[in-house]
């Protein structure tokens, strides 16, 4: 029966709001997305969000139609290759690398997406 269920990540934007659902290709992908969000939350050190994480972020069964699930698909394997942070200098990028995340670097109209510290240092010309 699990195979017929459609899964999503539900994120609550505010205390009194319902969870907004974004489709996931599978329950496993939704769980991995939550694990990524949880790791980011812990690394950022916001104690309130760490304590409230399970209230705001949840793996849920999709409430819409199968067609809507497919049309709005968000969490796929490719999502894990996407940067979660945007940085405008090396100081910001170094912080993100401490989180073990991918960063989207910007400098004078140029852009770089990387998870490699040395590559970011070359981009920001700090080596």
Report how far Cα 108 is from the mean position of its chain's Cα atoms: 26
Q: Tell me what pLDDT residue 16 has.
A: 82
Please report, in angstroms and rounded to a whole number, the separation of the first and last CA atoms in the chain: 55
How confident is the model over 11-62, as pLDDT tens digits?
998 878 899 999 999 999 999 999 999 999 999 898 999 999 999 999 999 9
List the structure tokens of 91. Answer: 């100081």
Using DSSP bridges, classify how beta strands 110-114 and 57-61 pair: parallel, antiparallel or unpaired: unpaired
How confident is the model over 78-122, as pLDDT tens digits?
999 999 999 999 999 999 898 889 999 999 999 999 999 999 999
Q: From residue 27, give the alpha-carbon distance in Å to each of 9, 24, 37, 61, 63.
A: 9, 7, 15, 9, 14
| Residue 1 clears pLDDT 60, i.e. is over it | no
Do 90 and 112 contact (CB within 8 A), yes or no? no
**pLDDT interval class at 2 (50, 70, 90):** low
Q: Domain residues of the chain, as ranges?
A: 2-81, 85-123
Do 35 and 27 contact (CB within 8 A), yes or no? no
């Amino acid at each position: 029966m699990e195979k017929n269920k459609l899964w999503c990540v539900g994120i609550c934007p505010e205390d009194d709001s319902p969870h907004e659902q974004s489709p996931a290709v599978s329950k496993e992908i939704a769980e991995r997305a939550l694990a990524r969000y949880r790791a980011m939350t812990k690394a950022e050190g916001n104690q309130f969000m760490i304590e409230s994480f399970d209230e705001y972020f949840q793996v849920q069964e999709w409430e819409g139609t199968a067609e809507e699930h497919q049309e709005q698909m968000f969490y796929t394997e490719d999502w894990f290759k996407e940067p979660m942070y945007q940085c405008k200098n090396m100081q910001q990028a170094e912080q993100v690398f401490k989180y073990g995340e991918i960063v989207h670097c910007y400098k004078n109209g140029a852009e770089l997406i990387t998870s490699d510290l040395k590559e970011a240092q070359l981009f920001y010309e700090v080596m």
